[in-house]
Amino acid sequence: MLVFKCPYCGIEADETELSPGGEAHLKRFGPGSSDEELEGYLFNRENPKGVHFERWRHVYGCGKWFHAARCTATLEVFGTYSAQTFEPPKEIIDIIKAKRPGWKWRNLS
Amino acid sequence: MKRYSVFAVAREALRYHQGWSRAWKSPEPKKNYDAIIIGAGGHGLATAYYLGKNHGLKNVAILEKGWLGGGNTGRNTTIIRSNYLQDASAAIYEKARSLYETMSQDLNYNVMFSPRGVMMLAQTQHEIRGYKRTAQANALQGVSTEFISPEKVKSLVPIINIDGPRYPVLGALWQSRGGTARHDAVAWGYARACSDMGMDIIQQCEVTGIRHENGQVQGVETSKGSIDCQKLGIVVAGHTGVLADMAGFRMPVEAVALQALVSEPIKPCMDVVVMANTVHGYMSQSDKGEMVIGGGADGYNNYTQRGSFHHVEETVRALIETFPIISRLKMLRWWGGIVDMTGDRSPILSKTPVGNIFINCGWGTGGFKAIPGSGWAMAELMAKGHSSLTEEFSLNRFKEGKFIDESVAAGVAH
What is the structure's pLDDT at B165? 83
By C-alpha distance, which of B145, B114, B414 is closest to B268? B114
Asked if the model's pLDDT at residue B132 lies above 80, the reply is: yes
pLDDT, tens digit (0-9, with 9 covering 90-100), for B327-385: 999 999 999 999 999 988 999 999 999 999 999 999 999 899 999 999 999 999 999 99
Q: What is the pLDDT of residue B104?
A: 97
Contacts of B309 in chain A (CB under 8 A): 1
State the nearest Cα–Cα gap between B258 and chain A, in angstroms: 14
Nearest chain B residue to A39 by CA distance is: B399
CB B153 within 8 A of CB B172: yes
Asked if residue B279 lies in contact with residue B321, where contact means CB atoms within 8 angstroms, the answer is: yes
Predicted confidence at residue A75, as pLDDT, reads: 94
Mean per-residue pLDDT over chain B, rounded:
94
B255 contacts A47? CB cut-off 8 A? yes
Q: pLDDT for A2-49, tens place per residue?
A: 999 999 999 999 999 999 999 999 999 989 999 899 999 999 999 999
Mean pLDDT of B257-266: 95
Task: Give pLDDT, residue B414.
Answer: 43
How close, in Å, is residue B277 to chain A by CA atoms?
20
Q: What's residue B413's pLDDT?
A: 43
CB of A12 within 8 Å of any CB in chain B? no
| b/e burial code for range B330-348 (CB count within 10 A of at least 16 → b) | eeeeeebbbbbbbbbbbbb
CA distance B268 to B259: 24
Q: Which of A38, A55, A53 is nearest to A106 (CA)?
A: A53
Q: Does B303 sit within 8 Å of A49, measured CB to CB?
A: yes
Judging contacts by C-beta atoms under 8 Å, the chain A residues touching residue B342 are: 43
pLDDT reported for residue B67: 96
Closest Cα of chain B to A77: distance in Å? 12
Mean pLDDT of the region A55-80: 96
Q: What pLDDT does residue A20 have?
A: 95
Average pLDDT over residues B245-260: 94
Residues of A in contact with B308 (CB under 8 A): 1-2, 15
A82 interface with B at CB cutoff 8 Å: no
Query: Does position B410 have pLDDT exceeding 60, yes or no?
Result: no
**pLDDT score of B14 more than 50:** yes
Rounded to a whole number of angstroms, the distance from the CA of B398 to the nearest CA of chain A is: 6
Give the pTM: 0.94
* Fold classified for A3-99: Folate-binding fold (3.30.2270)
Q: How do residues B58-107 score in pLDDT, each as one tens digit?
A: 999 999 999 999 999 999 999 999 999 999 999 999 999 999 999 999 99
Percent of chain B with pLDDT over 90: 90
Name every chain A residue with its beta carbon within 8 A of the beta carbon of B254. 45, 47
Work out the mean pLDDT of chain A and round it to a whole number: 93
Interface of A with B in 33-52 (CB under 8 A): 35-36, 39-40, 42-45, 47-49, 52
Taking only the tens place, the pLDDT of each residue in B219-241 is 999 999 999 999 999 999 999 99
Catalogue all structural domains in chain B, each as residue range(s) with its CATH number: 6-105+182-252+344-409 (3.50.50.60), 118-177+255-342 (3.30.9.10)
Position B411 pLDDT exceeds 50: no
What pLDDT does residue B408 have? 57
Instruction: Name the residue of chain A whose CA is nearest to B310's CA.
Output: A16
Per-residue pLDDT, B175: 97
Write down the domain spans for chain A. 3-99
Cβ-based neighbours of B22, under 8 Å, separated by 6 or more: none
Give the chain B residue nearest A72 (alpha carbons).
B302
Residue contact A48–B308, C-beta within 8 A: no
B145: pLDDT strictly greater than 80 = yes
- Which of B250, B304, B310 is nearest residue A73 as measured by Cβ atoms? B304
pLDDT tops 70 at residue B55: yes
Give the ipTM.
0.93
Contacts of A48 in chain B (CB under 8 A): 241, 301
Q: Side chain identity at B405, as an amino acid letter?
A: D
Lowest mean pLDDT among B122-131, B221-230, B397-406: B397-406
Predicted confidence at residue B405, as pLDDT, reads 85
Residue B45 contacts residue B190 (beta carbons within 8 Å) = yes
